Chain A
Amino acid sequence: MKLEVLKELNAERAARRPVIIVTDTANGEQRLVKAKDVAADPLRAELAKQLRMGKSGNVEVAGKKLFLNVYAPTAKLVIIGAVHISQALAPLARSLDYDVTVVDPRTAFASPERFPDVPLVAEWPDVALPPLNVDHYTAFVAVTHDPKIDDPALLHAFDRDCFYIGALGSRKTHAKRAERLRAQGAKDSDIARIHAPIGLDIGAVSPSEIAVAIMAEITAQLRLPPKEKEEAA
């Protein structure tokens, strides 16, 4: 690997931007493809597939055996609300390799006794969220049921283009939330991105089951190609 390629790879990784290194394993020839350049690449179908799965693999193109090494950032999960569902969701997400942070300004909820081993921020979203560097590789879940906390957090998630945004509440609750967010300047296209009611419909009842439904929906959003994603939702 040429030093320039290695430097560029490290710079992209530090900036949490996905990269694929394409190597011709017969002769060591190599190039770096940034995620934003995949659509214009001659190997776009293969690259897009590996990138979506976050998985490295081999392809054969025009008699050449190429190894596609995918460097995708670790996905983050930001949970707004240190509630019962979050107590089940945080460890589940960690077992799926997400970097998890729980935000709740209510210190009675955001206590280390209730959330051992999970980074907790007991601040309002306007203070808590900017240092978390919420980005596209972040799943964002708002489950406080309190508009004062959930609404500003959701506006932040729109702004940072999170790959998944979910909010707890029935269709009725969500309709009211959509009205409030619109009044605060949110676009319809942003509001349409919220998964609400949250989680895949698996008949979840208990907080742990709801956590499974949420993680299943996040996984589908992360891994499925766009068309199948619509069918799952």
Chain B
Amino acid sequence: MVENRRFGDILSYVILTLGVLVLAFPVYLAFVASTWDAATIANGQLPIYPGGRMAENYYRVLFQGTGSSTRQPVGVMMFNSLVMALSIAIGKILISILSAYAIVYYRFPFRMAAFWIIFVTLMLPVEVRIYPTYKVVADLGLLDSYAGLSLPLIASATGTLLFRQFFMTIPDELLEASKIDGAGPYKFFVDTVLPLSMTTIAALFVIQFIYGWNQYLWPLLITTKDNMQTIVIGIKKMITTSDALTEWQLAMTTAVLALLPPVAVVIVMQRLFVRGLVETEK
């Protein structure tokens, strides 16, 4: 800093601490609510400190379910969310690294056309084509299946662009050297490109895992069976319109369980997360 001013430093701390507290408060309150019983919350007397029902609430939500509204234990929903998030993240990385490899390391007719076909999809979020996509998935018989949950969300330009950009930075000399050593496209990919791409792959994985776990509109449309719901959908169904029926302590327990995995990923893999976020937005 240019000048050393005590007042400025104190002001920074105060504002940053306020920011941290305001951001954390809704989640803290949800955690507190997940440790009390239904009556305390329904009477509007929720204290600001945790109660003693934590084990009971979490056990009931995870393994028994929440009664009338969702019928399935949240453990099942978390498993569905996990399968969906992993399929989207891994699927996206797989198909986009292959297509980027083809576009960067080969010359063939319609190469640029293929690139543009992929590129344009950057502009088509699921939300603008929901019903026609729903119909395609229904016609393929993929409703209420993991494939139906993840396949339509796997295709997008982000990954291809990212890998293409990265492959362009790999020096040509590496390929020339590999060729002299007699390596073909497969060997070059496995021995050279893949190891070099590890950080990019990991960064993309972190971003896409969060993206997949947090999907809402798509699973809402295509899952009709209770045992195929994801946790983000499940919690919405627990909040019934007639408030008297909402079991808030269980809904909040589910909310904590739903936000824990992606938040943990961000905190534990912060460096990769920041990198992925900045690079996928280029």
- Bound together: no
Binding site for B on A (CB under 8 A): none
